[in-house]
Amino acid sequence: MAASMVFRRTATFCGTFKGISSFKTNIPANLQRGLLIQIAHYNPKPLKLNLRDPYIPDKENEKTPEWQKTFKYDRKLYGRYGSASGIDPATLWPTNEQLEEIIKEENEWHPPLEVLSKNIAERERQEAAKRQEKEKLVAANMAKMPKMIADWRREKREAKKKLKEDKLRRAKLLAEAQERFGYAVDYRSPKFLEMVKEIEKEEKKKKKLMKRRLREEQAAAHAAPVASP
């Protein structure tokens, strides 16, 4: 029986091969024989679908995996074996809670056209409002720009002036230090820094004294009697 099947397959292939050889004449003879032998011995494996004795897991058995006891697996069994699975198709329909969850998910991920239109209009409105706020901010900043530039230039002049004054003050202090110590000192040396602290203390005392005298003079001027005409 096996020999007859091989013969039939070979004969069928030869008939087909004759039709192909009418426009492919350059195939070598040894390659033709190899193809005939390969086709003759081709025996594809059947699909693993046993409808007579399907595998139906026992849900009461502890050795049955948990994933084979699920609702999803029951639907898979019924889709594969149909009524032979022993599963009632009415039990495969989702429950009311599951239907509500499906509807909720459908409305969330696939809303109707009316909802989509409203969402698009709302998003466009929000984007337009954001754009207007940004334009207002840019306009306000542009209006402040002349003052900001003037302030920046003023701060730059003041910083330059202060730097120049600091240099002059340092040069004056260095000259005073040289006169006091009898030799040139570095402005980073402890002697110079100590001398600067003493001078700053003296300047503070002088300022306090001048403020006190000014207050005394003002008090004396207010206390003096007004001259009669």
Note the pLDDT tens digit of each residue in 104-131.
888 888 888 888 899 999 999 999 999 9
Distances (CA, A) of 45 to 48, 50, 115, 122: 9, 13, 53, 59
Q: What is the mean pLDDT of residues 129-136?
A: 95
How high is the pLDDT of residue 184?
Answer: 84
Q: How far apart are CA 84 and CA 54, in angstroms?
A: 7
Mean per-residue pLDDT over the chain, rounded: 79
pLDDT level of residue 142 (50, 70, 90 thresholds) = very high
Helix (H, G, I), strand (E, B) or coil at 19: helix
Question: In the structure encoding, which two tokens stand for residue 188, read together?
Answer: 């980073």
Task: Please state the rounded mean pLDDT for residues 84-89.
Answer: 85
When comparing pLDDT for 142 and 60, which is higher?
142
* The two structure tokens encoding residue 162: 């202060």
Q: Does the pLDDT of residue 5 top 50, yes or no?
A: no
Q: What are the residues whose beta carbons fall under 8 Å from the beta carbon of 173, sequence distance 6 or more?
A: 187, 192, 195, 196, 199
> Chain centroid to CA 218: how far?
69
pLDDT digits (tens, 9 = 90+) for 178-221: 888 888 888 888 888 888 888 888 888 888 888 888 888 888 88
Identify the pLDDT of residue 79.
87
3-state SS class at 116 = helix
Please say whether the beta carbons of 35 and 17 come within 8 A: yes
- pLDDT for residue 27 is more than 90: no
What's the mean pLDDT in 127-151? 94
Q: What is the pLDDT of residue 26?
A: 53
Predicted model pTM = 0.35
Encoded tokens for 17: 């091969």
Given this model, what pLDDT does residue 222 score?
Answer: 78
Instruction: Indicate the pLDDT class of residue 21, thresholds 50, 70 and 90.
Output: very low
What average pLDDT does the segment 149-176 reach? 91
The percent of residues in the chain predicted with pLDDT above 70, rounded, is 75
State the average pLDDT over residues 142-162.
93
